[in-house]
Structure 1
């Protein structure tokens, strides 16, 4: 199976155009705010969306709702949180963290909103199956439209490790 088949096989056909557009927003916003590229870019938006989906680091985002809902997760994110894409993008993003971690997470997200992006976040997260893991070195940034409207926040990290459940 090719990389594109792996990518698109998990996406319902009606989601593909939105997924491509959102991938572009994630990539463009990240570059604009950090001065760096999240992945190698190309002139083909579908190719970039596939490349982002298949990237080895976790890339996630949520919308700008008052209780933000996840709206993107690449293959690494879906595997880490042990979810199918349809369930992932219907999940309030606060539920990716344990209750006692949510206040610190919210403060970090507020700082990222004020500054445009922040780096170095770490915290405990929990998968849909209850597996706990620590993320570290995360970057969180504001996701914007081409005209600069903030539509949510993205996050990426490449370091995580399982942690034991509290006794």
Structure 2
């Protein structure tokens, strides 16, 4: 199991710093110590966080444990998955429109979308915030999403 980004403090910093700069709000509770942030976000966060890369057909590069449980994948399975496959085919156009809007505007919040788990279980993700991962040098590194609520269909 290669979990290179799961506990990577630099990737955690990219997630949290870009969320703060792009969305204008902290991703993590200020009580979480910076030194422990990567472990806490991956292992203990009570909300889901996923991120995909900049490929033409983006692939997930990160999913915390809450998201892995929600989607019913292992780390290796999730990080091999093209992110478009997290939505069923009829719902992919809506997802594509959202991601293109985020790409040009920086972020979107309040999104609700239908997703599919590995088992085929369908579920709504609700009050989702999606943002561009932009590093401190201004380089676009992909997109990330976070949500605290989901419910089975």
- TM-score category of the 2 structures, normalised to the smaller one: over 0.9
Tell me, what secondary structure is at the counterpart of 1:90?
A: coil
Taking structure 2 as the reference length, the TM-score comes to 0.92
Aligned to 1:37: 26
* C-alpha distance in 1 between matches for 2:109 and 2:81: 24
Q: Does 1:117 align with 2:142?
A: no
Deviations 1:82-102 (A, max 9, x none): 011011111000000000000
In structure 2, how many angstroms separate the alpha carbons of the residues matched to 1:106 and 1:21? 28
Structure 1 length-normalised TM: 0.85
Runs of 5+ consecutive residues of structure 2 not aligned to the other structure: none
Higher helix share: 1
CA RMSD of the aligned region, Å? 1.6
Aligned residue pair count: 150
C-alpha contact 1:39 1:51 (8 A) present in aligned 2: no
Counterpart of 1:83 in 2: which secondary structure?
A: coil
Whose relative contact order is higher, 1 or 2, with alpha carbons under 8 Å and at least 6 apart? Answer: 2
Q: Is the 8 A contact 1:63 1:153 kept in 2?
A: yes
Shift of 1:16: 5.5
| Structure number with bigger Rg | 1
The equivalences for 1:94-133 within 5 A come to 94-133=84-123
Residue matched to 1:51 = 40
For structure 1, which runs of at least 5 residues remain unmatched after alignment?
1-10
Which residue matches 1:63? 53
